[in-house]
Amino acid sequence: MGETYTITIEPLGREVKCDSDQTILDACLRAGVWLPHSCTHGTCATCKCDVLDGDVDQGAASSFALMDFERDEGKTLTCCAKPLSDVTIEADLDVPDELEVHPVEDFVGTIVSLDDIAKDTKRLIVQLDHPMRFNAGQYAKFQIPGHEGVDRTWSIASLPTDNDRLEFQISNVPGGIGTDGWLFSRAKPGDQVKLSGPYGQFVLRTWEDKPIVMLGGGTGVAPLASMIRHALENGMYEGHITLYAGARTAEELYDVDVFRALEEEHPDQFTYHPCVSSAEVEGYRHGWVNDVMSQDFERLTGHQAYLCGSPRMVEASLKSLMAKRLFPRDIFHEDFLNAGDKAAGVGSPLIKR
């Protein structure tokens, strides 16, 4: 049995108990203290903070996200850092007052269905042993069966009001432990899986009334789907949402009929543009989502934007949005990083998550 230490979070002055084999981020999230975070694997640097007192084990923090000189200056990544003593940290706790914070919990899920919905893409439905309270846009962390200590994170595509039966939209990663090695090969309905959540600060800001532009690449549409359905079907937002969903080919796009039906049902609130980049296809916009969006808007002043996809897609979209005079404070994004991206230290440097 390891030691238990006290983590003091400034400027809150809040104290949280943390086991020596537990990351500081995990202890705080489970206690309902919402520290900044995104990837939870030591790659994106969103959770970087200052250690004011005490000692930590830096764990598997990437040298790209936490450089040697930053370690020497007393900085740490809370998603990797484990306490070696009582620790005091100072974090950027920029949490909107309107946002309800849901503590992270552990769950046992049973696979209800696992279906192909596009090329190399599956829809996973999991029935939980108890409801997971979450905000639209957040994600869950799965423990991969047969691989002790290996986890993968996938965005929740379902509504926060359907919180005991979660939907995930997942693309295959060749050679990936969680996808190629499990979900796309040996997982089946009836199997049980352990997961935890909710995680992430990429959430729909339902209390704001600015018109919204959303850009999603591949299964980066998953958290956007949760946001859109929550806004429209649960009446959580009265403004207008424009979604650009992109893929290389039409065969890689999914739920086109679902979004078109939503567009018909909510014509004053929702506009949908499926985009294909490889070739012109009837019924689809041609080009990358950021380029198609740029054709439609002269200026985006007064809007908000939500982006989710590969680091390359997110970075290109950030540049396009800012070129349309959208300030960084009104751009929210989530990078989809696979294991290869994380090992290479891939991330988007243009805007703080």
Rounded CA separation 183/189 (Å) = 11
Question: Which residues have a Cβ under 8 Å from the Cβ of 86 and sit 6 or more positions away?
Answer: 5, 6, 7, 8, 53, 54
Residue 300, pLDDT above cutoff 70 = yes
C-alpha 66/C-alpha 77 separation (Å) is 7
pLDDT value of position 103:
96
Q: What are phi and psi of 93, to 5 degrees?
A: -95, 70
CATH topology (fold) of 105-199:
Elongation Factor Tu (Ef-tu); domain 3 (2.40.30)
pLDDT in the model for residue 350: 34
Which range has the worst mean pLDDT, 68-82, 189-203, 297-311, 335-349?
A: 335-349
CB 13, CB 38: distance < 8 Å: no
Amino acid at 320: S
Residues 51, 90: Cα–Cα separation, whole Å: 7
| pLDDT value for 338 | 54
Within 10 Å of residue 188's Cβ, how many Cβ atoms? 8
pLDDT in tens, 213-260: 999 999 999 999 999 999 999 999 999 999 999 999 999 999 999 999
What DSSP string describes 183-230? ITTT--TT-EEEEEEEE-S----TT--S-EEEEEEGGGHHHHHHHHHH
The secondary element (H helix, E strand) that includes residue 340 is helix 339-344
| Domain covering 212-344 in this structure, CATH number | 3.40.50.80
pLDDT value at position 38? 85
Domain ranges for the chain: 4-90, 105-199, 212-344
> Span 4-90: which CATH code?
3.10.20.30
d(CA 257, CA 283): 12
Task: Give the pLDDT of residue 99.
Answer: 85
Torsion of the alpha carbons at 291, 297, 303 and 304, rounded to the nearest 10:
-10
Instruction: For 204-215, write each residue's pLDDT tens digit.
Output: 998 888 999 999
130 secondary structure, DSSP code: S
In angstroms, rounded to a whole number, what is the distance separating the alpha carbons of residues 337 and 119?
Answer: 19
Give the number of other Cβ atoms within 10 Å of residue 247's Cβ.
27
3-state helix, strand, coil in the chain (%, to 5): 20, 30, 45
Does residue 345 have a pLDDT over 60? Answer: no
Q: Please state the rounded mean pLDDT for residues 321-350.
A: 70
